Amino acid sequence: MSTEELGPAAEWNFPFEEPLHEVFPALHEAQNAWMAAIESLHAPDRKTHELIRLVVTVCLRNPAGVERHAQLAREVGATWEEILGSIMLTSPGAGILPAVAAIPHARAGFEAARAAEDD
C-alpha cells in the first residue's frame, strides 16, 4: 500500500517508516507483523518490556528510541526513578557518555506521557 493509498494524514511511529514503505511496502508490512508479535509477548510484564527496550536504545545511541520507550514506559506505570535507574545500568557496558546523553531524551518522552495523561 502506498502512502497515497494511506492518505495524506498517514502517521508513522518512526521517521524511517514512510521512506521504507514507499520503496519496500512488503518489507515494511512484514516488519510491522514481526513487531506486533514482539509486542504480544506475555512475559516479561509490559513495564519491564519497555524498560528493556529503553536500555537497548540507550546502548544503540538512538535518541528517538530512548524518547519513545521512556514515553511508553511511563504510560505503563514506570516512574522517573525506574527509567533513570535503567539508563544508568547501561553505563558499565555501554559507557557513561551514552547514558548521560540519553537522559534528556528520556525526560522528554517521560514528560510527553505525563502531559498526555493531564489532557
The tens digit of pLDDT for each residue in 50-87 reads 999 999 999 999 999 999 999 999 999 999 999 999 99
Chain Cα centroid distance, residue 29? 18
Predicted confidence (pLDDT) at residue 5 exceeds the cutoff of 70 = no
Return the pLDDT at 10: 60
pLDDT exceeds cutoff 70 at 9: no
95: part of which helix (H) or strand (E)?
none
Split at pLDDT 50, 70, 90, the class of 91 is very high
With a pLDDT cut of 70, the percent of the chain lying above it is: 92
